Amino acid sequence: MQKDIELIIFDWDGTLIDSQANIVQCFKYVIDDLDLPDRSSEEISNIIGLGMWEALRELFPQNNTEEYQQMVDRYRYHFFASDPSQPFSGAGTVLSSLAEDGYILAVATGKGRRGLDKALDSTGFRQYFHATRCADETRSKPHPQMLEELLDETGMNGEQAIMIGDTEYDLEMAKNAGIPSIGVSYGVHEADRLLKHEPISVLNEIGALLNWLNGEKIANL
């Protein structure tokens, strides 16, 4: 199917950017600021990929809308005060190569628009992407609306696209949208969780995507 792929849609955090530690720390600051019940790093990591409000409902289901807004405000304060997270090794090379080869590239992320714009600029990756969609602009993963909007914007159909992501939310979203997916095991969710959603493969480093697109068979982990 590689020859049919024209649109490659990437998740951001945990797929292109090594941001897990920074996101967890920002949530820890929020918990301290607002004297919330403690949550483990594992519990916080598990919600990376969801939209902010959906993530907070998972972590603190007993809270109300006003309290969630306070959490969002404190998270944004700490996120924008923090040093930018760095790309995974090889991510820039992969994006550059794909762009040179004429692929249409897009981002589907649980980040908000301000956060993604900051990250696109700090990494220098903005130049590679034709379209991006954030959780505060549409429905959160795993609802398919984010991908459906990217297909519409780029003029592609599901058979011409593929989703690359590190969480169950990414791969479930792709399945819901009728788009094939590839998981990456170096992000938030382990390979066994990703394989439940029937990706074409699960890669242990981002550079292997180029090998797959060039027709090499990549075994699942």
> In the predicted model, is pLDDT for residue 188 greater than 50?
yes
Give the bridge partners for 150, in sequence order. none
One-character DSSP codes across 81-133: HSPPPEEPTTHHHHHHHHHHTT-EEEEEESS-HHHHHHHHHHHT-GGG-SEEE
Coil/strand/helix, residue 3: helix
List, in order of start, the domains of the chain with CATH numbers: 2-18+87-213 (3.40.50.1000), 20-81 (1.10.150)
Instruction: Please report which confidence band the pLDDT of residue 221 belongs to, taking 50, 70 and 90 as the band edges.
Output: very low
CA distance 133 to 221: 29
> In the predicted model, is pLDDT for residue 77 greater than 60?
yes
Model pTM score? 0.93
Among residues 76, 98, 115, the alpha carbon closest in space to that of 164 is found at 98
Among residues 218, 192, 217, 188, the alpha carbon closest in space to that of 203 is found at 218
Taking only the tens place, the pLDDT of each residue in 104-155 is 999 999 999 999 999 999 999 999 999 999 999 999 999 999 999 999 999 9
Q: What local confidence, expressed as pLDDT, does residue 22 receive?
A: 96
CA distance 122 to 30: 24
> In the predicted model, is pLDDT for residue 21 greater than 60?
yes
- Enclosing H/E stretch for 164: strand 161-165
